[in-house]
A and B are shown apart, each in its own frame.
Chain A
Amino acid sequence: MNTRIHTTSVLQNAGLRLWGRAGYSNLLMKFANFILRNTLRNKRRTVLTILSISMSLFLISTLRTLLDSLENPTTTPESAKRVVIRHATGLANLLPIAYREQIARIPGVDAITSSQWFGGIYKDPANFFAQFAVDADRFFDVYGDFHTETPEQEATFIKDRTGALAGVGLAKRFGWHVGDRITLKGAIFPVDPELTIDGLLDGGGSDSNFYFHMDYFSELFRVNGNAFNQAGTFVLKAKNADDLPAISENVDAMYENSTAPTKTESEAAFILGFVSMLGNVRLLMVSISTVVLFTVILVAANTMAMSIRERTGEIAILKTLGFAPGLILYIMVAESMAIALAGGLLGSLGSRYLYRSLDLGPWSGGFVQQLDVRWNTVLLSVGIALAVAMFSTLIPAYNASRLSIAVAIRRRGE
């Protein structure tokens, strides 16, 4: 980067010549007021530019957070101890319930529950949410990171055969309260469980899920007169996370040559399997973000070009007063960065606080409940804004700073 080296040396020269040993920060302090006033000389333009940049960074923050929440499912020390066991062929194939007790005997296994995706409809197919039939008495042994509002709710649920637990987010979405009765209309299974909400769940990413008794479900769904005796998945909790690879191998080896071979994977890998089913989301998000980034470049460059062109006469005067080209460049780049900083902060913080108060469940078909724009994303967005502003201003600012006084004075207002 020749220009940069050049710029730096020019800047240092300028600084030294005018203010002795003043550093960059000192320089900024000295000129902060001047820079600020420059951004305010055309308030409308500054505001429009800030708004335009903020829209772009709002979008970049959103896309990054969306990608992040898809690619990094919530993990807790508890969830790291869990694996999900399913049929090797795919989730639409079921495993015999007898596997549960066989697997439970493998050394290192702490607890295991069957877990059957129910996929029923609550009033309208658009009200999609995750519903599972589980072994109520073992459920909290496996999901130690889930908790009901009160210990009594947990006890009631375990005792109540037609009881159910709803995530707090879900309860909020549908206005459910403890004690409410709801009916799920079966789609995958031709049965309609009638359930009582015994408690509200929170913690470990359970706030948008729904659980009810496997016992009740298998009674309801009889195949050829017999109670349903299969399950889509088993969720197992190991005593120690380090034992998981060995346990997983053990399980899969046990059933390798059976009529229903298994595939065992960590809970995180299991969830990521669903994300990969969505297709190449990462490529989509990254492509959109890249294009958005280019629009920021254009907006920042255009604004600074306009503002510099207007000010050519003034630049000539500054030069006449003894401002070195490097210092003029510095002031203009700093001005552009100040505008970008405002835009970046507005966009990324805006996204952070807007999504806090929005439930995205109904719009995303239940895929994303809430977006949590993290501080590192805010920081990244602001960083992007600053970098883009700096580079997009360098050329027009450099050209202006190199104009000879005579030319510049004559060019004013063109």
Chain B
Amino acid sequence: MIPIRYNLRSVVVRRVGTLMTVLGVGLTVAVFVSILAMVHGLQNTFTDTGEPLNLIVIRQGSQSETNSFFNRDIKGIIETMPGVESVAGEIVVVINRTRVTGDTSNVMVRGVSAKSSMELRPGIRIAEGRMFKPGLRELVVSRAVSLRFKNANIGDTMKIGRSTWNVVGILDASKSAHDSEIWGNYDEVAEEFERPVYSSLLVRVNGAPDVAAVKDRIAGDRRVKLDVFSEKEYFATQTSSALPIQVLGYLVAIIMAIGSCFAVMNTMYAATAYRTREIATLRVLGYRRFSILVSFVFESVLLALCGGIAGCLMALPVNGITTGTTNFTSFSEVVFQFRITPGLMIEGILFAVIMGGIGGFLPGIRAAFTPIVRALRTEV
């Protein structure tokens, strides 16, 4: 095999060209990693939501809590089922609010029971202020909503329905889907919107072995027409709202990658052309065609690898940026953070290496099949 040092030195000799190629690959990887960071951030917001022992019950065929409604006596039926520890009845209403940027979006208002809804979701706590007191038209607002929407801080008032509500607390839902919600007391929210129904029931099962049994029991009960999911499952199905960004991301990444492959090829063809005599000399020294091919593909992969690392570094600043989009399943805004994980960075680097491999292959073949005698005579 041709020593790796040969490639390293060759790369350094062509400083400017190398740098431009590396940067080109780097930008492609940076875009790829950034968009995937967005997709992962959005997906993780959903997959990080839900307790393993919780089930969520909604009206059959309704797909999401937003579309779901059913009579309140169903709660009693479920509460008395064996294996059920406790049940919280909730209502969700989607309201249109103005973002701090001036445009509008939908926010989910969840009418909850101050006690059981919190107990069933141990990941959620009041970060600032206090919990709402029933009967006073008070609200607690998730931090993301308080930052992204107008008039949503402690002390602010919001007109929801016909009443004016006071914001008294900031909710921290540890970056789950509930971090995009506004919470108020169930009775008041139901009354405000004249909907004496539940949108969903959050059911806590006694223990892990009972989960499947309770699920079957609810789904099989002929008195109620309900769909039942584990809370985790329910939110995982909503990751589909990341699909448009994902499609866009892959489209952009693939097109940019093809473009970068051509650029890498160009650089590598130039490298083979400048080194025609060197290559012939190597062949005369006894290196096989295969070694030459491997050497050039390696050099190309090396360039791309540097590009990949540079790209990941360039993408790093997007990590943690908070943004929002609409979850069209629930028809309400979901706030999420760009998340760059080590796995994602490895994906980005692999992506670069593939570009390098493809971009270096044809030039490598050309180098390997350079006719020795003619090559030795070339002036360049």
Q: Which one of A51, A89, A273, A288 has the highest number of Cβ atoms from chain B below 10 Å of its Cβ?
A: A89
Q: Which residues of A contact B61 (CB under 8 A)?
A: 185-187, 190
Question: Which residues of chain A from 184 to 201 have any CB-CB distance to chain B below 8 Å in the complex?
Answer: 185-188, 190
Q: Does A165 contact B (CB under 8 A)?
A: no
Q: A48-B269, A49-B262, A190-B61 are in contact. Are A89 and B160 (CB under 8 A)?
A: yes
- B16→A190 contact, CB < 8 A: no
Q: Which residues of A contact B258 (CB under 8 A)?
A: 51, 55
Q: A89-B161, A91-B96 are in contact. Are A277 and B259 (CB under 8 A)?
A: no
Q: Does B230 contact A (CB under 8 A)?
A: no
B37 CB to nearest chain A CB (Å): 12
- B193→A93 contact, CB < 8 A: yes
CA of A365 to CA of B243, assembled, Å: 8
CA of A299 to CA of B30, assembled, Å: 17
- A298→B95 contact, CB < 8 A: no
Question: Which residues of chain A from 298 to 322 have any CB-CB distance to chain B below 8 Å in the complex?
Answer: 298-299, 301-303, 305-306, 310
Q: Mark A281-309, 1 if CB is under 8 A from B, else 0.
A: 00000001001101100110111011000
Q: Does A174 contact B (CB under 8 A)?
A: no
Q: Which residues of A contact B270 (CB under 8 A)?
A: 45, 306
Q: How many A residues touch B, CB cutoff 8 Å? A: 53
Q: Which residues of A contact B27 (CB under 8 A)?
A: 291-292, 294-295, 298
- A91→B67 contact, CB < 8 A: no
B259 CB to nearest chain A CB (Å): 3
CA of A49 to CA of B240, assembled, Å: 38
- B106→A277 contact, CB < 8 A: yes
Q: Does A112 contact B (CB under 8 A)?
A: no
B43 CB to nearest chain A CB (Å): 15
Q: Mark A107-139, 1 if CB is under 8 A from B, else 0.
A: 000000000000100000100000000000000
CA of A103 to CA of B259, assembled, Å: 57
- B105→A305 contact, CB < 8 A: no
Q: A52-B266, A277-B105 are in contact. Are A364 and B244 (CB under 8 A)?
A: yes
Q: A276-B105, A302-B20 are in contact. Are A367 and B244 (CB under 8 A)?
A: yes
Q: How many B residues touch A, CB cutoff 8 Å? A: 60
Q: Chain A binding site: helix, strand, loop or mixed by DSSP?
A: helix
Q: A59-B252, A279-B323 are in contact. Are A302 and B263 (CB under 8 A)?
A: yes
- B331→A91 contact, CB < 8 A: yes
Q: Who on chain A is nearest to B94 by CB?
A: A92
- A90→B24 contact, CB < 8 A: no
Q: Which residues of A contact B24 (CB under 8 A)?
A: 295, 298-299, 302
CA of A287 to CA of B197, assembled, Å: 45
Q: Does B256 contact A (CB under 8 A)?
A: yes
Q: Does A377 contact B (CB under 8 A)?
A: no
B313 CB to nearest chain A CB (Å): 14
CA of A363 to CA of B250, assembled, Å: 12
Q: Does B134 contact A (CB under 8 A)?
A: no
Q: A279-B325, A301-B20 are in contact. Are A288 and B104 (CB under 8 A)?
A: no
- A299→B259 contact, CB < 8 A: yes
- B265→A55 contact, CB < 8 A: no
- A52→B323 contact, CB < 8 A: no
CA of A44 to CA of B262, assembled, Å: 10
Q: Which residues of B contact A53 (CB under 8 A)?
A: 259
Tell me which of A62, A187, A305 contacts B67 (CB under 8 A).
A187
CA of A301 to CA of B23, assembled, Å: 12
Q: Which residues of B contact A52 (CB under 8 A)?
A: 259-260, 262-263, 266
CA of A190 to CA of B68, assembled, Å: 9
Tell me which of B28, B103, B323, B325 contacts A295 (CB under 8 A).
B28
Q: Does B60 contact A (CB under 8 A)?
A: yes
Q: Mark B79-112, 1 if CB is under 8 A from A, else 0.
A: 0000000000000011110010101111000000
Tell me which of A44, A56, A90, A298 contacts B94 (CB under 8 A).
A90
A185 CB to nearest chain B CB (Å): 7
A395 CB to nearest chain B CB (Å): 10
- A413→B380 contact, CB < 8 A: yes
CA of A367 to CA of B248, assembled, Å: 12
Q: Who on chain A is nearest to B328 by CB?
A: A365
Q: Does A280 contact B (CB under 8 A)?
A: yes
Q: A276-B103, A413-B380 are in contact. Are A302 and B326 (CB under 8 A)?
A: no
CA of A364 to CA of B259, assembled, Å: 24
Q: A55-B258, A91-B331, A125-B63 are in contact. Are A278 and B325 (CB under 8 A)?
A: yes
- B244→A277 contact, CB < 8 A: no
Q: Does A150 contact B (CB under 8 A)?
A: no
Q: Does A330 contact B (CB under 8 A)?
A: no
Q: Does A58 contact B (CB under 8 A)?
A: yes
B222 CB to nearest chain A CB (Å): 16
Question: Which residues of chain B from 41 to 97 have any CB-CB distance to chain A below 8 Å in the complex?
Answer: 59-63, 66-67, 93-96
Q: Does A2 contact B (CB under 8 A)?
A: no
Q: Which residues of B contact A33 (CB under 8 A)?
A: none
B77 CB to nearest chain A CB (Å): 19
CA of A90 to CA of B109, assembled, Å: 12
Q: A45-B266, A291-B27, A303-B266 are in contact. Are A93 and B93 (CB under 8 A)?
A: yes
CA of A63 to CA of B248, assembled, Å: 9
Tell me which of A49, A125, A295 contacts B256 (CB under 8 A).
A295
- A55→B255 contact, CB < 8 A: yes
Q: Which residues of B contact A357 (CB under 8 A)?
A: none
Q: Does A376 contact B (CB under 8 A)?
A: no
Q: A276-B103, A276-B105 are in contact. Are A45 and B31 (CB under 8 A)?
A: no
Q: Who on chain A is nearest to B326 by CB?
A: A277
Q: Who on chain A is nearest to B18 by CB?
A: A302
CA of A277 to CA of B328, assembled, Å: 9
Q: Who on chain A is nearest to B241 by CB?
A: A365
Across the A-B interface, give the 4 residue pairs with the lowest CB-CB distance, nearest first. Answer: A55-B259, A52-B262, A276-B103, A90-B96
**8 A-B contacts (beta carbon < 8 Å):** A44-B269, A55-B258, A59-B259, A92-B106, A125-B63, A190-B59, A295-B27, A298-B263
Other A-B pairs, 20, CB within 8 Å; known A52-B266, A263-B96: A45-B270, A51-B262, A53-B259, A62-B255, A89-B95, A89-B160, A89-B193, A90-B95, A90-B106, A92-B95, A93-B193, A187-B62, A273-B104, A277-B104, A277-B326, A292-B31, A298-B23, A305-B20, A365-B244, A413-B380
